[in-house]
């Protein structure tokens, strides 16, 4: 199962709104369809959003036949704006868009078909890199879990959310393969039920034992000693180590701290916003109130009620036991760890430029 792929000049993606009842794939050569899919959560998960936007960028430039400097800049800005407006919290989106913008700029002056080829190569590189990141995160994260671990996870962080095996879910699946995992507890993840609809669907396919729980059952499970670790993903991580993730993650971190349970965040380095210091700066997307007042199109709340529905919350760094990236496991003090990671990244970029 591939959540997204480039196929015969088109983007093919799985419409995640239909799961788990239907597996519906969409093929399109229209970048606005891809952008719409991101906005409506047909395509979701921070790493996958970045990959989808990269492929969408390619589609936009496939229409390029002739150009001058002004028209090229106009197309770059139009395409960037189209995808940047879809989901404001996930930093992977902007990271991927920046790489695609730079690929166009570096190719300026080339024939349109050369620009298109370089853009496609860049998008496929982003996709392949994410797949490898997932494998590395899984290996590093599985080492942190105790033997016969019972893990609690929130939302969906598997192959439906990434270009590979997942982030937090890659930790889970790798631990299962290494015979370190006993059981998984999946939060249903209100209001859109990504845990119930998506994570449960994936783990069932993988034949990994799990139990689905309501979001407000987690505290009781921890009190009873049924959880050894909490593993979640992330949509943006700041220099201080504050983590934006699916709403409900902060509550799990507070509960884990109270019960002495490690709270792990698994995410690629593309999720780290090196330009943002604190979680208070993270833009938090507000979702449509009907996602709370309706369930599968059926109204469950009185008409006209006021709804507050943030898509994400922010877990402060002091509640995070470790951040698992493909480059290594980061621990407090996170500001120091992040700066060291950034220095290594810059040094690597310099070496590649020289050689």
235 an active-site residue? yes
CATH class, domain 137-354, is alpha beta
In angstroms, what is the C-alpha Rg of the chain? Answer: 20
Q: What is the pLDDT at residue 28?
A: 98
Q: Is pLDDT at 221 greater than 90 in this prediction? A: yes
Q: What is the pLDDT at residue 90?
A: 87
Tell me where in the chain the CATH 3.40.50.10470 domain(s) lie. 137-354
CA distance 29 to 59: 6
Let me know if 22 is exposed, middle or buried by CB neighbors in 10 A (0-12, 13-18, 19+).
exposed
pLDDT in tens, 118-176: 999 999 999 999 999 999 999 999 999 999 999 999 999 999 999 999 999 999 999 99
Pick the CATH number of 4-135 from 2.30.30.830, 1.20.120.420, 3.20.20.70, 1.10.10.1590: 1.20.120.420
Q: Find the catalytic residue in 215, 235, 242, 273.
A: 235
Query: What contacts 160, CB < 8 A, 6 or more positions away?
Result: 3, 14, 16, 19, 44, 45, 48, 198, 202
Query: What contacts 45, CB < 8 A, 6 or more positions away?
Result: 3, 156, 157, 160, 161, 162, 233
Tell me where in the chain the CATH 1.20.120.420 domain(s) lie. 4-135
The 3-state DSSP class for residue 275 equals coil
Helix, strand, coil percent values for the chain (each to nearest 5): 45, 15, 35
Q: Is pLDDT at 216 greater than 90 in this prediction? A: yes
Percent of all residues in the chain with a pLDDT value above 90, rounded to a whole number: 92
CA distance 236 to 58: 25
Provide the 10 A C-beta neighbour count for residue 70.
8
Q: Are strands 181-187 and 210-213 parallel, antiparallel or unpaired?
A: parallel
> In the block, which residue shows the tokens 């969409």?
26
322 alpha carbon, distance to own chain's centre: 18
160 neighbors 130 (Cβ within 8 angstroms): no
The sheet carrying 236-237 orders its strands as 236-237, 243-246, 312-315
Query: What contacts 106, CB < 8 A, 6 or more positions away?
Result: 118
Chain mean pLDDT for the chain: 95
> In the block, which residue shows the tokens 């080492």?
143
């Amino acid at each position: 199962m591939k959540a997204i792929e480039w196929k015969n000049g088109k983007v093919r993606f799985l419409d995640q709104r239909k799961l788990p009842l239907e597996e519906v794939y969409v093929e399109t050569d229209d970048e606005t369809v891809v952008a719409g899919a991101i906005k409506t959560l047909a395509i979701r998960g921070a790493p996958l959003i970045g990959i989808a936007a990269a492929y969408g960028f390619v589609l936009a430039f496939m229409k390029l036949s002739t150009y001058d400097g002004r028209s090229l800049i106009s197309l770059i800005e139009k395409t960037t704006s189209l995808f940047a407006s879809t989901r404001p919290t996930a930093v992977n989106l902007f990271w991927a868009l920046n790489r695609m913008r730079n690929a166009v700029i570096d190719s300026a002056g080339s024939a349109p078909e050369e620009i298109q080829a370089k853009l496609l190569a860049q998008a496929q590189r982003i996709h392949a890199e994410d797949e490898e990141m997932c494998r590395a995160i899984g290996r590093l994260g599985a080492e942190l879990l105790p033997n016969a671990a019972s893990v609690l996870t929130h939302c969906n962080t598997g192959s439906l959310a990434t270009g590979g095996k997942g982030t937090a879910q890659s930790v889970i699946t790798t631990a299962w393969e290494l015979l370190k995992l006993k059981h998984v507890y999946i939060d249903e993840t209100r209001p859109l039920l990504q845990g119930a609809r998506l994570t449960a669907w994936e783990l069932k396919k993988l034949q990994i034992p799990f139990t689905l729980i309501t979001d407000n059952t987690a505290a009781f499970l921890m009190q009873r000693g049924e959880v050894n670790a909490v593993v979640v993903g992330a949509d943006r991580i700041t220099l201080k180590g504050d983590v934006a993730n699916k709403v409900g993650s902060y509550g799990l971190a507070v509960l884990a701290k109270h019960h002495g349970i490690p709270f792990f965040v698994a995410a690629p380095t593309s999720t780290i916003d090196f330009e943002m210091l604190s979680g208070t700066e993270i833009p938090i997307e507000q979702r449509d109130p009907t996602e709370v007042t309706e369930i599968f199109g059926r109204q469950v709340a009185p008409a006209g009620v006021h709804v507050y529905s943030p898509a994400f919350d922010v877990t402060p760094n002091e509640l995070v036991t470790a951040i698992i990236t493909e480059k290594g496991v980061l621990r407090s003090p996170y500001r120091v760890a992040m700066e060291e990671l950034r220095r290594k990244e810059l040094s690597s970029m310099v070496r590649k430029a020289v050689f």
